[in-house]
Amino acid sequence: MVKDYVKKPKVMAKDVNLYYGDFHALKGITLSMEENTVVALIGPSGCGKSTFLRCFNRMNDLIPSTRITGYVMVDGKDINDRSMNVDELRKNIGMVFQKPNPFPKSIFENVAYGLRVNGVKEAKFIEERVERSLKQSALWEEVKDKLKKSAFELSGGQQQRLCIARALAIEPSVLLMDEPASALDPISTAKIEELIYELKNQYTIIIVTHNMQQAGRVSDKTAFFYMGELIECDDTKTMFTNPKHTRTQNYITGRFG
C-alpha cells in the first residue's frame, strides 16, 4: 500500500482554534510532528504556545469556559473525541511543568505514583520501573541510596529530573515540557537539555521555551507563535539561520517581544 511509505505524524494539530471565554487564544493552528523528534514552541509571553502544548493532553479542560475546535490527533486518533478517555490519554502523554512539582512523598513514591493511580499493584514491577525511570532521567546515581527520603530534600534541578522520571514511569509516547528549565540554574539546565537530547531516541517531545538558545540546542523543529497564530514552523537550523518571516527574524534576534 502506498500509504505505508508515508511516515505518519505522531502528533498532529489540524486547524485548531481555542477560546477562553471570548478570548481567541489559538487561531487555526496546523502543525504535525514526527516520531522521535523534538519540537520547540517559541514566542513572546501570551502568544499561545503553552496553551497549544496543553491541547495535547487536554489540560485546557481544567480551565473553565475553554472551547476548542479542529482536530488534535495523537497516533491518528482524535483526542477530543467523545470515545477518548482523558485519563488514558494523559497516561500516554507525559508532561513536565515549569516549576518542579514533586508530590510531598518519598522519591520512590513520586515515581511510582503514576503506576499506582493507573492500577499497577505488583511491587516488583513497580520497583523495576522506578529504577529504570530514574536511570532514564539520569537521577539514579544521585538518589539510589535515599529513595525513601522526601522528594523535597532534592535540589531544584534534581526535583525537575524526578518529575521527568515520574512522567517516564508510565511509559508515555509523547512528552510535553512547559519551560522545564526556566526555574533552574545553568548547570541543572544543561543537564535537562542533555536529557532531552537523550530521550529523543524514545519519545516525541514538544517543549515550550522562552530561551532561544535552548530551542536551538535541543530541538529538531521550531515553531514560532505570535498572538495566537503559528507564524512559522521549520527545521530549527533553518529557523535560526534563515527564517522566512520578518516577525520570526525579529523575535529570534531579540528585536521585539
Could you list the residues that contact other proteins (CB under 8 A)? 57, 59, 62, 64, 87-91, 94-95, 97, 99, 101, 103-105, 113-114, 116-118, 150-153, 163, 166-167, 170, 187, 190-191, 193-194, 197, 213, 216-218, 236-237, 240-241
Closer by beta carbon to other proteins, 27 or else 91: 91
Closer by beta carbon to other proteins, 29 or else 252: 252
Cell of 67: 472551547
Closer by beta carbon to other proteins, 27 or else 77: 77
Hey, CA dihedral for 120, 121, 127, 128, is it positive or negative? negative
Measured CA angle at 104 (ends 101, 105), to 5 deg: 115
Closer by beta carbon to other proteins, 6 or else 64: 64
Taking the CA of residue 20 as centre, how many other CA atoms within 13 Å lie in the half-sphere pointing to its CB? 14
Report in angstroms how near the CB of residue 117 gets to other proteins at its nearest.
4
Report in angstroms how near the CB of residue 101 gets to other proteins at its nearest.
4
DSSP label at residue 248? H
Report in angstroms how near the CB of residue 94 gets to other proteins at its nearest.
7
Q: Is 103 exposed, middle or buried (0-12, 13-18, 19+ CB in 10 A)?
A: middle
Closer by beta carbon to other proteins, 30 or else 213: 213
* Cβ partners under 8 Å of residue 200, min gap 6: 36, 37, 38, 220
**One-letter amino acid for residue 180 of the chain:** P
Closer by beta carbon to other proteins, 18 or else 165: 165
Pairing label, strands 23-33, 11-20: antiparallel
Cα-to-chain-centroid distance, residue 119: 24
Report in angstroms how near the CB of residue 34 gets to other proteins at its nearest.
19
Q: Is 246 exposed, middle or buried (0-12, 13-18, 19+ CB in 10 A)?
A: exposed
Report in angstroms how near the CB of residue 220 gets to other proteins at its nearest.
11
Report in angstroms how near the CB of residue 5 gets to other proteins at its nearest.
29
